A and B are shown apart, each in its own frame.
Chain A
Amino acid sequence: MDPDYRRQILTGWGLTSPSAALVGDVSPAELVERLKEPTGRGVIARGLGRSYGDAAQNAGGVVLRIKGSPSEIVIDSDSGTVTVGAGVSLDELMKFLVPRGWFVPVTPGTRFVTVGGAIASDIHGKNHHVEGSFGSHVRRMRVVVASGDLIECSPSENSDLFWTTIGGMGLTGFVVEATFALIAIETSRCLVDTVRCRDFDELIGEMSVGDDDVRYSVAWVDLVATGRHFGRGVLWRGDHAKLSDLDAEDASDPLSYAPRRLGSIPPVVPGVGLVGRATTRVFNEIWLRKEPMRRAGSVKSIPSYFHPLDSISSWNRLYGRSGFVQYQFVVPFGVEDRLRAIVERIVASGLASPLVVLKRFGSANEAPLSFPMPGWTLTVDMPAGAEGLSNLARSLDDAVLEAGGRHYLAKDALTSASVVRAGYPRLDEWRSIRDRWDPDRLFVSDLARRLQLI
């Protein structure tokens, strides 16, 4: 075994399900050689470890991180695309792109994800309802497959590998480079409209009207409030500001971009964490009241609009040693009563933290394991050490499946193989294509073992 591998305990962002693996950092060129070495228990790629569960872990096997360098970023202004190494993060990418008048096609709630991870999880953002997920913007990629060959793929060339890699959780190979479309921006600010909603019905109603006319839309829901406040929340809609939207001071440097980090959560949080029902109740009340009932056109920076949590490092430690689970599912439009029943169940459990997101998805793409489909997606963080979490998750799993929905693999740490099989009817199709590219099952992860994906 190569001496620069280190045995290391890995977890996802949720800090649950630790396992040990041999971890190494490699360049794309070294990767080909590394994949030829026998590993016994397979290999998986790992980016910045922001998937919440065990997707980027490989117990007893090898975990490789692809070195990425911002010097590899190449913009093609004519086609409005960028070509970049898979190990480069969206953070590095934005620092390069924004001052030049470009923005990534999709950003999740954190900019600390790699391009490779964005493709493997087929991530989505606040613009999914009109612009789809990350994979929908990828024009071509280069993937190192199990044979060690570097394969060019796109929607027209090796399209089976292309679409199984998008959302494929790293189980088809290593993405080493990708070309994808960008959004042209005039400024680095966003114009945001805010609507505070009194209850669940009002929130669903507000979100159902007019979403298609705005690029970015996302809501926060209070999953502690009961009675007449049940399902109250705040809806934020926005778009990149135009130059004419800025005042004279901002307009003098319209593309300035300087994300800041305010601080870090130290590794000394008490074992049970700081997120409980009482703290959540207080936080939610303040969080809601700081928002106006209705306000149009406030100017916000990219970090404060898209990545508010990124200003605090290691916020995942707030949940204590047992970590937390981020439960995310989607249910189709038309079953809002079922969505309501699911939300009621979460509220009744008392396990929800303040971190809750409700969003409408638009069309799905062609990738068999891509998570988004037209419908409502709800994301809620819950402490993993909480008694009753398992029972709650089981009952939610059933309710999500009955509503015709499914779960997001990049977040998953708790659902079961049968639930994933039921939620992803194209799993077998994905599996058979995957097996053609990796007949000996070189690529494997803890997630794949737990959910029997391969």
Chain B
Amino acid sequence: MENAVHEPQHVLVLGGTSDIGLAIARRLMSENTTYVGLACRRPEKAALAVESLTRPGTQVEALEFDATRVDGHKEFFERVVADHGDLDLVVLAFGQLGDQERFDDDPVSAAALVDVNFGSAVAVALEVARRFREQGHGTLVVLSSVAGERVRKANFVYGSSKAGLDAFAQGLGDSLEGSGARVLVVRPGFVHSAMTAGLKPAPFATTPDVVADAVASSLRTGRRIVWAPGILRWIFMVLRHVPHPIWRRLPLG
């Protein structure tokens, strides 16, 4: 169970090697936290992450989880909950950026990316929501992106997949009203992480720790959507209304 300041007891990170997912887990771990599961495709790659989170009184483990195998989600959660009890906090942090230029020649890989970022995320979030309703409590943190707020030509496949996820997660949050569960939608800007290594940072680039801080304070105050860094909220309030001919030409990376 969460305590009065929303510190979770049992945490599951979906995308357990994601820099942002791990930063959020690290930031929200406390004396109240006894279990952290890092769900990822290749658990052997999460050894360092497990070690970095482990501390006395908290069991941390990597779990094999393939988000695209949607028919395996139910069984996966059954096993985790049977072993460790109710999940208080689930962080949906998996996702791929892809290479926009490649998608033009390889539409199939674009479909695969959308399947990971959107289709699989929808399936797993609905499974989590079903469990949250049953257990009467729980917090789902969904990693969206400012790329979905107004999609730009440089990464419109990724951006549109996040736009779908963002809209879905907001609707899911509304549908969970009164169930004891809640959803926090997180819209980071460009985050320096393994996923963006080698890319030219966009303006207002940030770090996983800044995103984690924004998540922590939003959970404390009960917000439903949070931007990281916070200024992006105001910037996109303007960018959303920039006329198309100008938007196309903006040097946004």
Contacts and interface: CB of A to CB of B under 8 A. Distances in A.
Contacts of A19: 1, 136-137, 180
Interface centre among B1, B32, B178 (most CB of A within 10 A): B1
Interface string B71-91: 000000000000001100000
A9 B4 contact: no
B138 to A, nearest CB: 9
Contact of B57 (A41, A415, A418): A418
Interface in A62-111: none
Interface residues of B, number: 26
B186 to A, nearest CB: 19
Interface stretch (A121-129, A216-224, A321-329): A321-329
Interface in A6-43: 7, 9, 14, 16-21, 41
A280 B185 CA distance: 35
A419 B3 CA distance: 14
Contacts of A21: 136, 180
Nearest to B33: A416
Interface centre among B34, B178, B180 (most CB of A within 10 A): B180
Nearest to A417: B34
Interface string A389-409: 110001001000000000000
A259 interface: no
Interface residues of A, number: 38
Interface string B190-225: 000000000000000000000000000100111000
Interface of A is mostly: loop
A358 interface: no
Contact of A59 (B135, B220, B222): B135
Interface in A285-333: 321-323, 325
B180 A384 contact: no
Contact of A17 (B3, B134, B135): B3
A7 B3 CA distance: 21
A53 interface: yes
Closest 9 CB pairs of A and B: A20-B180, A60-B136, A59-B136, A413-B4, A16-B4, A450-B1, A20-B136, A19-B137, A60-B135
13 contacts: A14-B4, A20-B181, A41-B135, A59-B137, A61-B136, A384-B5, A385-B221, A413-B4, A414-B4, A416-B32, A449-B85, A450-B2, A450-B32
